[in-house]
Structure 1
């Protein structure tokens, strides 16, 4: 198994590094490293300008096929791009839901009309998206959704509630899972609808998180209309589309995380040297263990690249979410332990968490969103190891 990059790929890395460094030490220096987990509310206008600059320069949607406006980069080069973006301290992407989730879904399942209408504004950073999946009683059991949509002439009329809707206050559009046939079996009768966020009958209620920010929201639909042709993949075929979208969520952009985590680790290491904790043998052991886990994460990423065309060797992909979520949570705990009492002090009034505090508080959610650790273990057991499925309890 070859774990190295070719000279051509390394030349591409230099091109990406030069482009990002020029912007992030120049015009966009003030937002370098901003807008990440727990900091999503910061610098919205500046990050929107960043999004649109990337789009104008052809550095969004790098993995999309060229016929849809992307660069059509192979997987290895996509990973290099996302690695360098994290290394450079690129700000949190406002367009990641459009680029990484709905965009590839429309490329795969959408009609030509839907592709022409929605893909260019996503690529250029002109329209932002949010995701209408989870509901109060439909999280891990997503097929339990109760939001419904009924066809009324040339439009769908939607009623229901979504929760944990990231970036809803800024989004122009939302893709919504809704039940369109209440008599169909649980995983059928669901449609995947595209809904403008300025449509009548939409109410957004921000949810204040433990970090003090409001990345996600509750969204209520009350007789909310959307055009009849904005159903993706066909009426009552939404479950297939929804699962396809979740597969895209595990795409190449997640493979650059190790660089972002390593940058956070180096900040912890610097704090440790500054406050004298580096001389504590127990702390040094934890630092060494964390470095080793980060290196394992990097090597597993490279293993996934070498196995991209061999699905029978997909073990590293199955363990990826469980591994990095637990690692990031532990890195947050290491950060506050290294800082000691300093980690308990607010940086300003009203409360504005420091980078270490955001890391500690937000990373608690890593083991829940996108598939809780318990769900990930079930997936590994059933799909990777072939173990019997968990017994289903009726009632």
Structure 2
């Protein structure tokens, strides 16, 4: 009896394609120190976590602190590991990480890099699909499955200049500020109600509600002047995110529309207007002050659900402007800003309402500097209360530093 014998080739699953390119730049250098920027491009299949490795050519080169990765160094060997929020890199996508370091003799650039233990050569490596052969008895011959074609290497993207280029005198102070932020705030990267989050959720607009914590009356003209003053002061921070009229480092908004949608008072008679230009909240007292309705506040509904707000999302407010009679100084956070009612109302046309500007900075995550000075007394800045009356270059770059560390959460 004759039995047909066939040879069957079994195609094993192909391994993931790997490939990467790295652009290493020294963005600033000073006596014995420097700042490095590393842009990693994943040329292979998507990855969900990464380890970037390289070695310094000089034994005296040492990393002192870094950002956007967990950095470690043993001898000259350096490893940067992904963090919980930036481990995923799609095919042909980039991620930027950076650090500050020291050196004694020379500061040459590393020349070889690895991504997850695979060399970064600027090309894609696709392991060939392997086959195993078996001989089996079969009544009819079997056809061999065709092997999948090997993908061709993707072109290496052109390296782009790192937008992080503050003045050299500010590099170390800015790095110290961010290191302080990371060491002080346990949920720095997980918190989701910064001013950045509010703006992106509203596609470039911000709504305010005024908590009028005073017995004084307010005219319609004063109400409208408050709106104008808020718009002007808020835009000053937004202008810090522009270079030549264009958004810095993918910042998407050139102008931000600020709208006052409500006022909260103890007595409706304090508001000397009869139109319905804004919502009015009467005698809703919290913290011994009139409060705008919680169903309409983003602070209370960070999921964006304003179903309980009369008028819906269009009537929601992102920030409260809490104006308190006799209040000295200020306070600020993701909920809004609190300053003196007399101070604010008497400065509606002032070019820089500096206490308000300071408190607005807190809404965007910027810190206070009551117990330390990163500039060591060489200059004042708006976030160091009492040392400046307008937003300075240092304030601008602190704001930009916050954005570059958070922008990936918005897909930018």
Which interval holds the TM-score relative to the shorter structure? under 0.3
Q: Structure 1-normalised TM-score?
A: 0.24
Q: Structure 2-normalised TM-score?
A: 0.23
- Point out the structure with the larger helix share: 1
